[in-house]
Chains A and B, each alone.
Chain A
Amino acid sequence: QVQLVESGGGLVKPGGSLRLSCAASGFTFSDYYMIWIRQAPGKGLEWVSYISSGSTHIKYADSVRGRFTISRDNAKNSLYLQMNSLRVEDMAVYYCARVSRSASGWPFDYWGQGTLVTVSS
């Protein structure tokens, strides 16, 4: 079955860095776009960044562009998010999710359980 498992979250000071990972299994990882979505405590969902199957198409939300870098290693079935210059407003649960290939509207059909990033001094 499809599984996505995030790791790498934790407590970091403002201005610090973290690298999140998402280990995928149960599907052909290299066939799918992947996305990072975050949710601040008690708030709604916000997309952060997505990457195409071959890493040729990458987009970032305005709120993280220039500070975060998405990447993937298809040989390791893994997705990454390098987060630099972290701000208090980046504090959230970060989810990785798979972008469905069988729909026009880009729904996210499988999600990981999320990893919490806390930014505090």
Chain B
Amino acid sequence: EIVLTQSPATLSLSPGERATLSCRASQSISTYLAWYQQKPGQAPRLLIYDASNRATGIPARFSGSGSGTDFTLTISNLEPEDFAVYYCQQRSNSITFGQGTRLEIK
């Protein structure tokens, strides 16, 4: 099973700052990686697919990069509504999710 390790576990930032979230795979997954945002009491929402493509309706401040084993989700100029939990997910070998990064207001 491919393990996805997200870091940091918690990220404390202020609105207007840039957030950089990491997802590392235990073996190469090419670009078969997606990112999701989840707010309390809500279902996850797809942000990024195939490592770097924004999903429909996702603002341009969200961007994804990486391939192989190392991936990054960048949120530039944080808005108040961006504070949530973020998960990465792969499907190169079965399906696994990372454990999540909580982005909280500093």
- Asked whether, in the complex, the Cβ of A107 is within 8 Å of the Cβ of B55, the reply is yes
Known: A95-B43, A105-B50, A107-B55. A44 touches B31 (CB 8 A): no
Q: If A106-B95, A107-B49, A107-B55 touch, does A45 touch B43 (CB 8 Å cutoff)?
A: no
Q: Quick check: A113 and B43 within 8 Å, CB to CB? A: yes
- A56 at interface by CB-CB < 8 Å: no
A105 to B89, CA, bound (A): 9
Docked pose: A105 CA to B53 CA in angstroms: 11
Q: Which of B36, B44, B91, B100 contacts A105 (CB 8 A)?
A: B91
B-side interface size class: 20 to 34
A35 to B89, CA, bound (A): 14
Report the number of A-B residue pairs with Cβ-Cβ less than 8 Å.
65
Do the beta carbons of B44 and A103 come within 8 Å of each other? no
CB distance from A115 to the nearest CB of B (A): 11
Among residues 1 to 49 in chain A, which have CB atoms less than 8 Å away from a CB atom of chain B? 35, 44-47
Residue numbers in A under 8 Å from B49 (CB-CB): 100, 103, 105, 107, 109
State the main secondary structure of chain B at its contact with A.
loop
| B34 / chain A contacts, CB cutoff of 8 Å | 103, 105-108
Number of interface residues, chain A, beta carbon within 8 A? 21
User: Which B residues between 27 and 61 are near A, CB-CB below 8 angstroms?
Assistant: 31-34, 36, 42-46, 49-51, 53, 55-56
Whole-angstrom CA separation of A100 from B31 in the bound complex = 15
Contact partners of A121 in chain B: CB under 8 A? none
Residue contact B43 to A44, C-beta cutoff 8 Å: no
- The residues in B between 69 and 106 inclusive whose CB is less than 8 angstroms from any CB of A are 87, 89-92, 94-100
Given contacts A50-B95, A103-B34, A103-B50, 11 further A-B contacts (CB under 8 A): A44-B99, A45-B87, A59-B94, A100-B49, A104-B50, A105-B31, A105-B34, A105-B90, A106-B95, A107-B89, A112-B43
Identify the 9 closest CB pairs spanning chains A and B, nearest first.
A105-B32, A106-B91, A107-B49, A107-B34, A111-B43, A45-B97, A47-B95, A103-B49, A105-B50
- Residue positions of B touching A, CB distance < 8 A: 31-34, 36, 42-46, 49-51, 53, 55-56, 87, 89-92, 94-100
